[in-house]
């Protein structure tokens, strides 16, 4: 019997109640809804909601949010206060909400995915009510509150022997008192001890956890994350049913002189709630559909009598022209709102003067660019490439590193933020030959590696964590030491394209032959585990708990964007006000720089005046 049949048969039986706990719900109307953990929980819910009655408990700014994902989605919210700006061991309010949820929902099994922004009370309350509990380790939060096990020098602490002065490190990061780290590990060890099973998305993550908690080795289990099919441009077009879009004059849009930029709005609707699709047809008649990055367009707001609904109507496709041959491109815009698609039926034509780069090595850096992901190393590698004609660099993802963000070169394209629906089209469109993933910490899975693999592109990565483990297991890429100098990595990149070209082609072939675990296969593994540890919970929700739940539903309705445009308008006005303040502050600063007094003061150090 296959996994799909098992799940279908299980769904015919009386459903057990499962509670997922994490730091942010994946729902679009929740805060902090993006990330690998949220994506994983979303996949589990979608695959198992017909088998179990599934609830998700997560932090949502000042509230604990409880979402019932069985049948029609129901949301409850319970106030617990502002988020702490440093790690918290216990919080009485969070503990009380957790206890009430467990009772009110007659939970049979709790699967904890993360408790950052929550507290360890979640574990304690589950234990008090004698409910089976399992936990997936998505990072190293239960070893150290730094989460990624990187010290202030970006050194990875793979075992207790590798750690330096932990108290000093945490004092610098969070201003925590001496002895906090010891208390943290003592508490985390106690909480993990309550769990019947500890799941890991890779063997390397399991091994690192064993280094710190060897006593739990017997209940550790590796289950690789399953993967949904990466959607390409054609599938976006088909799934969105753009050919069935409603033609209306309420759609307005324009293309800027700067290629790949413009704006689009649906009159009367907030642009924050509208998704923009751009269809591009090249001179050969090939059609491509893109989901561009949104950005602020106060000029459009000004043109429409200050209507803040349209603050975020701008769209941007960085480096877009490099995907196409020189010649005319035809553009059409589609807007999605509340599940329906709209267009004005009009097209605009632009001449693409930039030619696709041919006969050069095209290297893509994929994912969020922050120091822990090697953003500093990436910048140094690009700078070390003295022969700029040999390599074109593409940064595909959000840049959270000021130095890298400020870097400008003719052979560097910053594509910007992307969605999973876009990634295959971007990699193929830019003709990326090699993807580089250079984290400094041991990632526990890496969805970006999966995205590169599904797109059929070999990877060069640092020899650390799950990325290294998965590359070696399938022989789909190349590895460099995590401490390797940027010049050496640059030499390795060129060698891969030249002396190691045969090896490169072999690895590329390996990618086409590799089998990635499906979401159904992953769900079936978890279903088997759940059925081992769950038992029929005889607890019945009493009237007091029913009233408490109803109050949470009422609060959620009051907090929920009942009239989204009103709340969004307030948020957009706040963004506009902050933008205005920033512009005014910058103008004031420029006046100061231009003043004679500043120019004299700037020269004082060179005149021998002490600071």
Residue 403 is predicted with a pLDDT of 94
**Of 336, 343, 368, 339, whose CA–CA distance to 272 is shortest?**
336
**How many CB atoms neighbour CB 496 within 10 A?**
21
- State whether CATH 3.40.50.2000 applies to domain 15-226+518-559: yes
User: Using H for helix, E for strand and C for coil, what is the string for 335-398?
Assistant: EEECCEEEECCCCEEEEECCCCCCCCEEEEEECCECHHHCHHHHHHHHHHCCCCCCEEEEEECC
**Of 121, 313, 454, whose CA–CA distance to 446 is shortest?**
454
The Cα–Cα gap between 243 and 341 comes to 9
**Of 442, 470, 437, whose CA–CA distance to 143 is shortest?**
442
Under 8 Å between Cβ of 51 and 11: yes
Residue 8 is predicted with a pLDDT of 44
In which element (H, E) is residue 82 found?
A: none
Q: Which residues of 548-562 are buried (b: 16+ CB within 10 A; e: fewer)?
A: bbeebeebbeebeee
Residue 543 is predicted with a pLDDT of 62
**Of 66, 64, 96, whose CA–CA distance to 82 is shortest?**
64
Under 8 Å between Cβ of 110 and 86: no
Do the domains 361-513 and 233-352 match in fold?
A: no
The Cα–Cα gap between 19 and 52 comes to 10
Residue 50 is predicted with a pLDDT of 93
**How many CB atoms neighbour CB 341 within 10 A?**
17
- State whether CATH 2.60.40 applies to domain 233-352: yes
Q: What are phi and psi of 54, to 5 degrees?
A: -105, 130
Residue 10 is predicted with a pLDDT of 46
DSSP string for 251-284 = EEEEE-SSTTEEEEEETTS-GGG-EEEEEEE-TT
The Cα–Cα gap between 199 and 135 comes to 6
Q: Which residue has the tokens 């799940």?
A: 7
Specify the DSSP class assigned to residue 542: -
The Cα–Cα gap between 579 and 254 comes to 23
Under 8 Å between Cβ of 454 and 420: no
Handedness of CA 553, 556, 557, 558 (dihedral sign): positive
CA torsion 583-586-587-590 (nearest 10°) is -160
Condensed to tens digits (0 to 9), the pLDDT of residues 153-203 reads 899 999 988 887 899 999 998 999 999 999 999 999 999 999 999 999 999
Q: What are phi and psi of 188, to 5 degrees?
A: -60, -40
Residue 401 is predicted with a pLDDT of 93
Which residues are CB-contacts of 99 (< 8 A; sequence separation ≥ 6)? 125, 128, 129
Residues of the chain with pLDDT under 50: 1, 5, 7-12, 231-235, 538, 561-563, 567, 598, 600-611
The Cα–Cα gap between 412 and 388 comes to 10
Say if strands 327-337 and 275-281 run parallel, antiparallel, or are unpaired: antiparallel
pTM of the model: 0.79
Under 8 Å between Cβ of 50 and 108: no
Indicate the fold that domain 361-513 takes in CATH.
Rossmann fold (3.40.50)
Residue 233: exposed, middle, or buried by beta-carbon count in 10 A (0-12, 13-18, 19+)?
Answer: buried
Residue 21 is predicted with a pLDDT of 98
**Of 427, 440, 452, whose CA–CA distance to 489 is shortest?**
440
Q: Domain residues of the chain, as ranges?
A: 15-226+518-559, 233-352, 361-513, 570-607
The Cα–Cα gap between 227 and 230 comes to 8
């Amino acid at each position: 019997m296959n996994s799909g049949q098992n799940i279908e048969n299980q769904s015919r039986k009386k459903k057990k109640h499962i509670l997922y706990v994490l730091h942010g719900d994946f729902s679009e109307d929740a805060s902090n809804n993006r990330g690998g953990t949220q994506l994983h929980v979303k996949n589990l819910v979608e695959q198992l909601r017909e088998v179990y009655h599934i609830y998700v408990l997560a932090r949502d700014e000042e509230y604990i949010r409880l979402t019932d994902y069985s049948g029609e989605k129901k949301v409850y919210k319970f106030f617990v206060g502002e988020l702490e700006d440093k790690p918290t061991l216990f919080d009485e309010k969070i503990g009380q909400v957790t206890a009430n949820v467990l009772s009110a929902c007659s939970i049979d099994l709790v699967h904890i995915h993360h408790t950052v922004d929550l507290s360890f009370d979640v574990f304690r309350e589950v234990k008090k009510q004698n409910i089976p509990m399992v936990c997936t380790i998505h990072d190293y939060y239960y070893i150290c509150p730094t989460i990624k096990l990187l010290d202030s020098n970006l050194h990875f602490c793979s075992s207790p022997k590798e750690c330096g002065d932990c108290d000093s490190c945490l004092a610098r990061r969070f201003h925590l008192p001496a002895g906090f780290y010891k208390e943290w590990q003592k508490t985390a060890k106690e909480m993990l001890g309550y769990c019947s099973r500890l799941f890991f998305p890779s063997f390397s993550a399991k091994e690192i956890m064993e280094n710190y908690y060897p006593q739990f080795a017997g209940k550790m289990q590796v289950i690789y994350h399953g993967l949904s099919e990466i959607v390409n441009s054609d599938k976006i077009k088909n799934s969105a049913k753009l050919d069935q879009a409603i033609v209306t004059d309420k759609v307005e849009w324009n293309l800027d002189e700067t290629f790949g930029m413009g704006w689009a709005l649906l009159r009367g609707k907030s642009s924050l709630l509208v998704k923009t699709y751009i269809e591009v047809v090249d001179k050969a008649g090939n059609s491509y559909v893109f989901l561009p990055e949104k950005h602020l367009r106060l000029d459009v707001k000004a043109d429409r009598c200050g209507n803040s609904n349209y603050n975020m109507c701008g769209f941007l496709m960085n480096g877009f022209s490099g995907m196409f041959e020189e010649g005319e491109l035809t553009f059409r815009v589609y807007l999605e709102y509340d599940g329906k698609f709209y267009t004005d039926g009009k097209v605009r034509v632009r001449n693409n003067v930039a030619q696709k780069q041919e006969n050069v090595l095209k290297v893509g850096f994929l994912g969020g660019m922050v120091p822990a992901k090697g953003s500093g190393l990436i910048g140094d590698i690009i700078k070390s490439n003295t022969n700029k004609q040999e390599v074109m660099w593409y940064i595909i993802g959000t840049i959270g590193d000021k130095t890298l963000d400020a870097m400008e070169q003719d052979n560097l394209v910053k594509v910007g933020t992307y969605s999973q629906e876009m990634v295959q089209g971007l990699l193929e469109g830019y003709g990326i030959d090699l993807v580089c993933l250079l984290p400094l910490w041991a990632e526990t899975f890496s969805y970006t590696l999966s995205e590169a693999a599904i797109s059929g592109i070999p990877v060069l990565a640092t020899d650390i964590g799950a990325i290294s483990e998965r590359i070696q297991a399938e022989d789909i890429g190349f590895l460099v030491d995590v401490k390797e100098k940027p010049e050496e990595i640059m030499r390795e990149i060129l060698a891969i394209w030249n002396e190691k070209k045969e090896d490169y082609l072999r690895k590329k072939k390996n990618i086409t032959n590799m089998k990635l675990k499906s979401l159904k296969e992953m769900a079936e593994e978890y279903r088997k585990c759940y059925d081992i540890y769950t038992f029929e919970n005889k607890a019945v929700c009493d009237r007091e708990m029913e009233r408490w739940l109803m109050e949470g539903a009422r609060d959620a309705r009051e907090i929920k964007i009942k009239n989204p445009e009103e709340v969004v308008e307030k948020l957009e006005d706040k963004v506009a006000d902050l933008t205005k303040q920033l512009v005014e502050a910058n103008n004031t600063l420029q006046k100061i720089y231009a003043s004679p007094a500043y120019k004299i003061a700037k020269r004082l150090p060179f005149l021998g005046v002490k600071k």
